[in-house]
Amino acid sequence: MDNRAIGVFDSGLGGLTAVQALRRLLPDEDVVYFGDTGRVPYGTRSAETILRYALQDLRFLMAHSLKCVVVACGTVSSVALPQLQQAVQAPVLGVIDSTVRAAAAATRNGRVGVIGTNATIRSETFQRGLLAINPELLVPARACPLLVPLVEDGRFAPGATVTELLVQEYVAPLLAQDIDTLILGCTHYPLLTDIFRAACGPQVALIDPGHETVRDLRALLQETGGLREAGTPGTERYYVSDSAQNFLQHAGMFLGGPVQGEATRVDIENY
Ligand code: DGL
């Protein structure tokens, strides 16, 4: 039994799709979330800047009593995970390993598409992870830099014409390579699942990194006796580096339900 909270962070709101999975799969766990809403997006920045930001995010979270930290950001997981794991004693989980395992298991024809931010695709971390599991896989990849701003702007439901057109354009070269599995390699993208489903068709499996990571985390906590004592529902605390008011206005869409718990602004440059 371990009653300490699970820390989760992202460059902004995208990591809330992992919190949504935590609510579903580990409802008894306490969660402390940090979203770097003042500095989002990370995906257009250099690896050095992403590492510097991510270390600050991690240091802030570690000021709480945590049993582990989930890096609920494809970009940070791709670019900076080993350095984060070395920086603290607590286990730090990225989204890459669980996601590539799920994708490699899902594909039938060995063609797995990968999409993500510029930094994620440039790092080739997802692609290397897939090929480490099965060197025979074909792993076409494409950066989709315009999707995060559209999602943050609330344009993710079917009928958001600009988003629909962009998604069609982004996935077209991957579909032309006959992929049957697509890694939504940024935690913002699962909000676009309906639009991706329409663009890719029902035959393409869509892999959600937050969901896959939380599923593995649940198995890990079960195996190691690390679950929180059952009986009372878990609590949630939110921290952001920009307006808490703005966060509260938008977070519900990412969580798939109302924010439970307080949201507080922090000065992340102090960490
Ligand atoms: N949610 C982040 C990810 O998973 C991307 C957003 C950003 O560019 O900051 O990659």
Place of tokens 């991706």: 196
pLDDT tens per residue across span 198-232:
999 999 999 999 999 999 999 999 999 999 998 89
Q: In whole angstroms, what is the distance from residue 219 CA to residue 156 CA?
A: 31
Nearest to 55 by CA among 14, 83, 89: 83
Query: pLDDT at position 230, please?
Result: 87
What pLDDT sits at residue 211?
A: 97
With a 6 A CB cut-off, is 41 part of the ligand 1 pocket? yes
188 lines ligand 1 (CB under 6 A): yes
Structure tokens at 81: 């995970």
**What average pLDDT does range 168-186 have in this prediction?**
98
* Tokens at 117, concatenated: 């931010």
For residue 154, pLDDT beyond 90: no
Q: What pLDDT score does 167 carry?
A: 98
Q: What is the mean pLDDT of residues 49-64?
A: 98
CATH number of 6-94+211-270: 3.40.50.1860
Architecture per CATH, domain 96-209, reads as 3-Layer(aba) Sandwich (3.40)
* DSSP secondary structure letter of residue 154: T
d(CA 117, CA 45): 10
- Of 99, 57, 62, nearest to 76 by C-alpha is 57
Do domains 6-94+211-270 and 96-209 share one topology? The answer is yes
148 lines ligand 1 (CB under 6 A): yes
Residue nearest to atom 8 of ligand 1 (CA): 43
pTM value is 0.96
196 lines ligand 1 (CB under 6 A): no
What span, in angstroms and rounded, lies between the C-alpha atoms of 7 and 32?
5
Confirm or reject: Cβ of 43 under 6 Å from ligand 1. yes
pLDDT above 90 (res 81): yes
| Residue 183: strand, helix, or coil | strand
Alpha helices by DSSP H, listed for the chain, are 16-25, 47-62, 74-87, 96-106, 118-123, 125-133, 147-152, 161-175, 193-200, 209-224, 244-255
Query: What average pLDDT score do residues 133-162 get?
Result: 94
The pLDDT assigned to 231 comes to 86
Give the residue numbers annotated as catalytic, written as ranges.
73, 186
Residue burial 15-24, b: 16+ Cβ < 10 Å; e: rest: bbbbbbbbbe
Q: List, for residues 90-113, the tens digit of each pLDDT value.
A: 999 999 999 999 999 999 999 999
Copy the structure tokens of residue 85.
Answer: 């794991």
Q: Where are the domains of the chain?
A: 6-94+211-270, 96-209
**Rounded (10°) angle between helices 125-133 and 96-106:** 50
Q: Which of these ranges, 43-57, 156-170, 251-265, has the smallest mean pLDDT? A: 251-265
At 189-206, the pLDDT tens digits run 999 999 999 999 999 999
Kindly state the average pLDDT of the residues 143-167.
94
Atom of ligand 1 nearest to the CA of 13: 1
Task: Report the 10 Å Cβ neighbour count for 233.
Answer: 12
Q: How confident is the model at residue 153 (pLDDT cuts 50, 70, 90)?
A: confident
- What is the whole-number distance in angstroms between the Cα of residue 132 and the centre of ligand 1? 24
Look at 61-70, 128-137, 152-161 and tell me which has the smallest mean pLDDT.
Answer: 152-161
Assess whether the C-beta atom of 127 lies below 6 angstroms from ligand 1: no
- Cβ atoms of 57 and 7 closer than 8 Å: no
With the most atoms of ligand 1 within 8 angstroms of its CB, the residue from 70, 118, 148 to mutate is 148
User: Ligand 1: distance of its center to the CA of 13 in Å?
Assistant: 9
pLDDT at 39 over 90: yes
Q: Which atom of ligand 1 is nearest to the CA of 42?
A: 9
